[in-house]
Each structure stands twice: as C-alpha cells, then as structure tokens.
Structure 1
Amino acid sequence: MGREDYQLKKLKHKKLWFTLIVIILLVCLSFVGAGYYFFTVACVPGEKSFLSSSSNVIKKSDPLYHEKVWFKKTPKEKWYMLSADGKYKLDANYIPYKNSSKTVIVLPGYTDTKEDAGIFDALFYELGYNTLTPEPRAQGESEGKYIGYGWPDKDDTKKWVSYLLRKKGKQQQIVIYGISMGGATAMTTSGLKLPHQVKAFIEDCGYTSVKDEIEYEAGALYNMPAFPRFPLVEILSGINKLKVGYFMGDASSVKQLNKNYRPMLFIHGSEDHFVPTKMIYSNYQATRGPKEIWVAPKAKHAKSFSVHPKEYKKRVASFLAKYVK
C-alpha cells in the first residue's frame, strides 16, 4: 500500500469516527431534550392533557352528591405554613368537628386542590373527625416550582403534624389519609419518625415508587417500548435530581413502608390503569405494622369511593375504630 493510499484510508477512518461521534452526540442530545420535555409534562404545574378535566357542576345523579354539597356549604379555616425546607408558603383547609380531638390529615392527589379532596373531608367529618387538608407544593394555592410526586411533601406532612399539635394540643389523635399521589405521600411519610399522636394511615391507589409510576405511564400513555423508555426515564430522573432534589428511584413507598410499624389500610380500584392495581400488593407486603387491604371491584383510578360509597365508609370506619378512640 502506497503512502497516498494509507493517508486516504486514515482520512476515511477519521471521517467515520467523526460521523459516529456526531450521531452519538445527536442521539444523546435528543434524549436529553426528550427528558426535559417529559419533565415539563410531569413535574411543572399546568394543564395536563392526559388527565380528565373535572366539572364544577354538582349533579344529583353523582353518588357523592351530598358530600360535595356539604363541602361547598361548610365553613373552612384557612391555615398557612412554610414548607419543611422553608422555601414555600403552603395552604390548607381546616374543618373542625365540634370539640373532637381526632383529626385526619387529608392529602390530595396529583395536581389536585383541597377542593378536589373535599369529598374525603365530608367522609371523615361524618365519622367525627376534624380534617386538615393541605395542598402539596405547586398545587392549588400552595407555592412551589415543581410537583414533587409526594417525596418532598412527606416532610411537609410531618411539619403539618407538628403544626396541628401546636395549634390544637397534644391530646390530638391523628390519622394520615392520601389519595393517588397523596396515597404515596402518606406511605412515604409513614417511614419517618413521627409523634406518638399519629395513630394510623390510610392510602388509596398510591404507587410503589415515583420511578415505577413514571416508567408505567411512559408505556401506558405514550406506548413507549422498553427502549427508549429505560434511558429516557433515567435522564428524566437526573433532571429531577437537579431541579427538585431527588432521584425518582429513591422516592420509594416500599422502602419507607419497611420502616413503618403503625396500622395502615390499603385501598385500590381493581380497574386502575393509571396507577396499576398490582402496585397495592407490593406496598401491602412492605409495611411492618397491622394492615388491611381492599381492592374495590370495578373501580378505576381514585374512584373506589364514588363506585362503592357505602362500602368505602364502612371499611374506613371499621379500620379506624380499632386504633383511634
């Protein structure tokens, strides 16, 4: 091979490597760009096209008509508190029940407000409880830049417990209830060191971890195959670490439940295709304390109460009667 041929071959190799490097960089940039897009969709407050919009009109045909009317007419106290990290002003409703020393902290779901959770205020008020319903960071009237999927909110919930005890006295008996993202918040809160006044937890359709839920949604909502879903979720998790402060895999209900010894009632709809029903079994197995489980027949995501209002009340009341006097 002549020197000229050798130089030509060497130049072709360089061009090939350069082309491969450019392609790899473009692929990486496209993944990062897609990661930022999905971070915006998942974590930045705003309208979410994948969520069904709820109407403010209360229809008499609604199985929870009376609960919604009661909530709308009932006076509420406005409570405010700084988030656990001191960055944001958080907003809450407090509804007192006569002279009761029993309080349920009601944790709303993903993008939900304290008004959306009003049906659960009605449920627990009927059972003789005060209710404290704080809005998570970046939802409703609470300040915040990003939706935290319950992980930073667990520390806020612990602070709400302390705030409640200071405001209403140490004789309080406290239950923590959450729906959907709020259910995950309740479960992750259960793994923290909490005052003895926290007597029990109820979670409805919470996920096993933020990463599990994001991976599932990527497949279910966008029909995304395993590749590129896996690397995309990892990039999204890294962006979440930079922006929100945690890797999504660390935000695990299962790991937190492994540290919980308090009683917990687990509820999930059998037809839940947003947070898959199978997640309830991993969560149920993980907790160390007394526990009960109910998979509500034919109920979709966060609809167990509306599909089975009487059974829901009965099961909640029966569970709480064992641990709150």
Structure 2
Amino acid sequence: MKKKKAAGLLGSILLAASSIGVYFSNRLMYMKKKDEKLVLMREAAAGRFDPIQFESLPKREVLIDSPLGYKLKTILVEPHKTNRYIVICHGVTENKMNSVKYMNLFLERGFNAVIYDHRRHGESGGKTTSFGHYEKLDLKAVVDWLKNDKGPDLLLGIHGESMGAATTLLYAGMIEDGADFYIADCPFSDFKELLEYQIKKDVKLPPRLVLPLGDLFLRLRDKYSVKEVSPISVIENIKNPILFIHSQNDKYILPSMTEALYERKPGPKKLFLAAIGGHAQSLNENRTEYEQAVDEFLEECGFRNSNGTS
C-alpha cells in the first residue's frame, strides 16, 4: 500500500512538473502575436503610418533565405540614391509594419531602409519565437543579403526595439563586420533575469521552481536554453557605437537592464532615458527628444551626409 501511495505521489509530482514545463515553454515558443491588421490600424490611427505615403515609396519585396530553413519577408525601401542603409528589427508579437515609424525617422535623415518580419511573425516562416537566439541568425542573413545586393561599401545601421533590440545586440556580439552603428531601444540585458522578474510580478510563483522546469522543456523542444539569450554576456565584444534607449517608466523590461548594458559596453556609446511612456513607447511619447538623441548620436559618430544633414 505504501509503495502504491509513493508511486502515486511521484506520478502526481511528475505530472505537475510536466504541466508547468509545457505551459512555460509554450508561453515562450508560441507567444500570442498581435493581429497584423490591428497593428496597421493602430499605427495609422496614431499618425505613425500613412498608407498612401507608404505605397508611394520606391520599394521592393524580397524573400530572404534563413539559414534555419524558412523565408524572411523583407521590404527594401529606397527613396534616396545613397549607400546609407538602416535595418530595423521589430519587437515580439509585432511585425514589420510596426517598424515603419522608425523607418520614416531614418528616411528623413537620408537613409534607405530595410524592414522585415522576424521568424514566426508577420509573413515570415519559422515555427517558434526564441527572443533573439535564432533571430540573430536571421538578422545576419538579412545583413548578408543586403551587402551582397548593394556591395560592401555601405554605411549600415541596425535599429531594434525590445526583442529586436536584444536580437541586434546578440548579432553584434557574434560578428566583427556587422553594422557601423546600432540603436538598441528597450532591450533586456539577460533573458533569464528578465523571466525571473516577470514570473515574480505576473505569475506569482517562485522562479526557482518554474524557471528550471520551463528551461528544461525549452531545451528539449526548441534546442536552446534561456541562459544562452544574454546580450550582456556579449556586449563587451561590440566595438562600434551603440545608442541605448529606454523609457524610465518601463515596467515590462526595467530601464536598469539598459543601464547595465550601457555601463558594460566599451568604446563609443550614448544613453537616452525617455521621461515618459511605458515599454517600447519612447519614440511615441517623446518624439522630439528621441529624434534629438538620434541626431546627436549620428553627429558624435561622424555619420552625417555631405550636405550637413544627419
């Protein structure tokens, strides 16, 4: 009888552990995405996306091969005769149309732009989201394609928001000849640390119980660990300039994470902490200050047009 009870108890514990592991890994791998039409409606209603203006821009759509076996839906926007390009990486649950507001900012500064959908987002392939782990390889594929298409003589920047910012830093930390400059808007410094914070805040369960189980199932199902998604572990590899941006009132990814990245980054760097706005709202709520920070950054790095504009 005791053996049956013990076996039953063990079975219940294993079932509970499996349930936690599956639930946690599902939340990460298959995080619910925003509806594409709703993203467009939201951006248009806020005045950040003008469909007529967007359609009038000279552009072409490209399907870029991911090294992981799917296609990345990419739009190349080229209103200028220039070798100055910016690649823009959107955040988790968003899509390339959320990048249009950043694209417009750089088009006004004489850059051409590349916007694209991350894996499992928008019109790109891929079955899971990995918060930068696999996305950094896709970003490399986009950059490699652009350099092959336009030639190596590019002035290239990469702008990322949230997960896109973490992806940008992870990419920059693994490659020596990536971009000339980077802008990281509200990145996390370490995914494990971020998840611990969010579990405490939202799930109300002890991270020491939930996270190891979830990570075990993530490693089994998607072949990576949350410990591997750590921009701060590679930030010292990045020698080219970075503009770090974060809203001071961000409660989803704390601004202290960006401050830690800024402190650890060697070489040229700049930090802009926006006074108002929540997560990924620095540009939306502080446009004048945001644009000023970008202009000062480009000026300090010497990335000005010959006509004197940034």
Q: TM-score, normalised by structure 2?
A: 0.89
Measured after TM superposition, the shift of residue 67 of structure 1 is 5.1
**Does the 8 Å contact 1:284/1:293 carry over to 2?**
yes
Q: Paired residue for 1:177?
A: 159
RMSD: 2.2
Map 1:200-219 to 2 at 5 A: 200-219=181-200
Question: Taking structure 1 as reference, are residues 43 and 98 closer, same or farther at Cα in structure 2, changes over 3 Å only?
Answer: same
**Does the 8 Å contact 2:43/2:49 carry over to 1?**
no
**Does the 8 Å contact 1:158/1:194 carry over to 2?**
no
**Does the 8 Å contact 1:104/1:130 carry over to 2?**
yes
Residue in structure 1 matching 2:212, options 210, 221, 234: 234
Q: Distance in 1 between matches of 2:140 and 2:296?
A: 25
Q: Distance in 2 between matches of 1:48 and 1:23?
A: 41
Q: Distance in 1 between matches of 2:59 and 2:15?
A: 49
- Alignment gaps of 5+ in structure 1: 1-13
- Secondary structure of residue in 2 paired with 1:294: strand
Matched, 1:221 2:202: yes
- Alignment gaps of 5+ in structure 2: 305-310
Matched, 1:40 2:40: no
Q: Paired residue for 2:231?
A: 253
Q: Paired residue for 2:307?
A: none
Q: Distance in 1 between matches of 2:153 and 2:84?
A: 9
Question: Taking structure 1 as reference, are residues 312 and 68 closer, same or farther at Cα in structure 2, changes over 3 Å only?
Answer: farther
Q: Paired residue for 2:252?
A: 274
Q: Distance in 1 between matches of 2:157 and 2:122?
A: 23
Q: Paired residue for 2:67?
A: 84
Q: Deviations over 1:148-201 (max 9, x none)?
A: 1111111221221111111011111111110010011111111112326x2111
- Secondary structure of residue in 1 paired with 2:92: coil
Matched, 1:56 2:41: yes
The structure with more radius of gyration:
1
Measured after TM superposition, the shift of residue 25 of structure 1 is 3.4
Q: Deviations over 1:6-45 (max 9, x none)?
A: xxxxxxxx71x65345324322321221221222222215
Residue in structure 1 matching 2:133, options 151, 155, 159: 151
Residue in structure 2 matching 1:188, options 146, 162, 170: 170
Measured after TM superposition, the shift of residue 109 of structure 1 is 0.2
Aligned residue identity for 1:88: Y
Q: Deviations over 1:39-94 (max 9, x none)?
A: 22222154479xxx75605667x3xx255454465353112111123x11111111
- Secondary structure of residue in 1 paired with 2:134: helix
Q: TM-score, normalised by structure 1?
A: 0.85
- Secondary structure of residue in 2 paired with 1:147: coil
Q: Distance in 2 between matches of 1:271 and 1:255?
A: 25
Question: Taking structure 1 as reference, are residues 139 and 55 closer, same or farther at Cα in structure 2, changes over 3 Å only?
Answer: closer
- Secondary structure of residue in 1 paired with 2:237: coil
**Does the 8 Å contact 2:44/2:50 carry over to 1?**
no
**Does the 8 Å contact 2:169/2:231 carry over to 1?**
yes
Matched, 1:128 2:110: yes
Aligned residue identity for 1:225: L
Q: Distance in 1 between matches of 2:209 and 2:42?
A: 43
Q: Distance in 1 between matches of 2:42 and 2:240?
A: 39
- Secondary structure of residue in 2 paired with 1:266: strand
**Aligned residue pairs: how many?**
300
Measured after TM superposition, the shift of residue 107 of structure 1 is 0.3
Deviates more, 1:274-283 or 1:303-312: 274-283
Measured after TM superposition, the shift of residue 269 of structure 1 is 0.6
Aligned residue identity for 1:171: D
Q: Paired residue for 1:108?
A: 90
Q: Paired residue for 2:100?
A: 118
- Secondary structure of residue in 1 paired with 2:159: strand
**Does the 8 Å contact 2:21/2:216 carry over to 1?**
no
Identity score, percent: 24
Residue in structure 2 matching 1:289, options 258, 264, 267: 267
Question: Taking structure 1 as reference, are residues 156 and 66 closer, same or farther at Cα in structure 2, changes over 3 Å only?
Answer: closer
